[in-house]
Amino acid sequence: MNTSLWHRIVKYLYSANQWYRETPDRALEQAYDAALAIKAIEDEHFGGQGISSRSGDYGHSTLSYFKSELQKYLKVIQTRMVEFNASRSFLELPERVGAKPKAGQSAGDQHGLGFDNKERASLVFEKLEFIDGVIDKYINNSRSTAIVPVVSAVNGQVKSTNSSFQPHENKGSANSNLTQAGEVDLNSEEVNLLPRSLLGTLNRITKELNPEAEKEVVRNFRNSKVKTVISLRFILLLILVPLLTNQISKNFLVGPVVDHFRVKQNAPVFINLDLEEEAFKELERFEQHLKFETLIGRVPSISSEETEKKIAEKAVEIAEEYRTESGGAIKNIFADLISCMAFAAIIVTNKKEIEILKSFMDDVIYGLSDSAKAFVIILFTDVFVGFHSPHGWEIILEGLSRHLGLPENRQFIFLFIATFPVILDTVFKYWIFRYLNRSSPSAVATYKNMNE
């Protein structure tokens, strides 16, 4: 009986501690959902603009309804962000912005934190930025509305978007962390009632004593396994369905229709001038080869009539070959369109699987070591935007042109090679600077060292 009572007390303490520690995340998630609701109303009814009479042609009653919904969601954001700011002042964020690692620690291991905490902090800041972007357009329009002080991470400082809601500070206190500009100095040493190491040890012991700890580990493993299975199955679906659709439609739907109309209309042999030139060169090469074989005595001498007959037979063979290729190019166009439609249908009807796949890819990519990330980045950039990439792009464009039966436009190919890899390289560098540099700075440093 005493053991059972002790387990209940431990479980209750663990639940209370877990609920308290999850308060910032819970409050931020509710504020983020409210911001998403406001954004949905703007996109659906006001063309992405602010909720006002200038953005939509609605009557007084309808506009009043939208404004009441706006006030409701803004109130939720206000309340939850106040709860977020108040609770996080007593709890340690997963990773302090701008904090320097201690001696012997890397940036990713600071305070014993792994990459998961970095990613979590990055998601927190992205949600805060999204909330900022949603409510900024209403701050100047309605000061009477209690817009909350949503924080934004800028250069290692947390700034408030509305200084009128900052807590009153004691300007004479030397221990105050708030500056006159409303900024919080994260580099100042925080004072806790107990050492962080002791709190972390107590928290770990509490989790280990929790009777549900093993079930939680098994549950997390099963969720990860289900996510992996769904992601791999969806990847196979994205690959196999368009390919099978292309082949089936080309052989059983588009092919017979194209063959019927081409025979009926007595279609030309060549679909473009490039194929015609290739056919002429092939016929000329056959004629020269036949003459060469006769001159060196490898075949007996034949009359000019027999030579012309063999050349005519070869011309008919080449014509049939290129007529089939021209018809195949037309079939490829329609079959590829049907495949694209099938691919788009999969994307539209499987939004939940797309979210799971995105989470799975994030776990795979961001779970790589720094050297592996740098290796993948260098391999990708060298193949698609590196010094030798123009040759690869040229081969791809020439193959695509022949697949669709289009003439090889050299000017278009050279213009594409001169612009698209440059744009792709710019976008990739921006991704490194904007996201990877924030989530994994050590990987960026490794990439720069390997690339030099």
What is the pLDDT, as a whole number, of residue 55? 65
d(CA 362, CA 382): 22
Q: What's the pLDDT tens digit per position in 359-397? A: 888 888 877 888 888 888 888 888 888 877 888 899 999
What pLDDT sits at residue 19?
A: 63
**Model pLDDT for residues 288-309, shown as the tens digit of each residue:** 988 888 888 787 877 888 888 8
pLDDT value at position 181? 35
The answer on pLDDT for 243 being more than 90 is: yes
Sorted by sequence, the CB contacts under 8 Å of residue 148 that are 6+ apart come out as 31, 77, 78, 79, 80, 81, 82, 135, 162, 165
- Is the pLDDT at 225 greater than 60? The verdict is yes
pLDDT class for 101, splitting at 50, 70, 90? Answer: very low
pLDDT at 241 > cutoff 90:
yes
Interval 263-283: pLDDT, tens: 655 667 788 888 888 889 999
What pLDDT is recorded for position 120?
72
Of the pLDDT bands very low, low, confident and very high (cuts 50, 70, 90), residue 194 is low
Residue 6's pLDDT is: 62
pLDDT at 72: 84
CA angle, 370 then 375 then 377, to 5°: 95
Q: What is the pTM of this model?
A: 0.51
Percentage of the chain with pLDDT > 70?
71
Confidence of residue 234 (pLDDT cuts 50, 70, 90): very high
Residue 12 or residue 82, greater confidence: 82
CB count in 10 Å sphere of residue 437: 13
Tens of pLDDT, residues 65-77: 788 888 888 888 8
**Higher-confidence residue: 7 or 391?**
391
Per-residue model confidence (pLDDT) at position 245: 94
φ/ψ of residue 152, rounded to 5: -130, 140
Dihedral of the alpha carbons of 108, 113, 118, 124, in degrees to the nearest 10: -150
Whether the pLDDT of residue 20 is over 70: the answer is no
The top-scoring range by mean pLDDT among 93-102, 107-116, 395-404 is 395-404
At residue 340, the pLDDT reads 94
Query: Where do we find the tokens 């969601």?
Result: 73
Cα(387)–Cα(381) distance, integer angstroms: 9
Q: What is the pLDDT of residue 193?
A: 52
Using the predicted structure, report yes or no on whether residue 109 has a pLDDT greater than 90: no
Q: What is the mean pLDDT of the chain?
A: 75
- 53 or 96, higher pLDDT: 53
SS3 label, residue 151: strand
- CA 27, CA 91: separation in Å to the nearest integer? 13
Closest by CA to 282, choosing from 331, 328, 316, is 316
pLDDT band at 117 (very low <50, low <70, confident <90, very high): low
Residues 6+ apart with CB under 8 A from 438: 122
Which alpha helices (DSSP H) does 46-192 contain, by range?
Answer: 60-88, 115-139
Q: What is the pLDDT of residue 104?
A: 44
> Is residue 257 pLDDT above 80, yes or no?
yes
Sequence-ordered list of residues with C-beta below 8 angstroms from that of 118, at least 6 positions apart, any chain: 94, 95, 108, 439, 440
What is the predicted pLDDT for the residue at 99? Answer: 43
DSSP labels for 274-286? HHHHHHHHHHHHH
The DSSP bridge partners found for residue 72 are none
Cα(384)–Cα(420) distance, rounded to whole angstroms?
Answer: 10
CA distance 43 to 205: 48
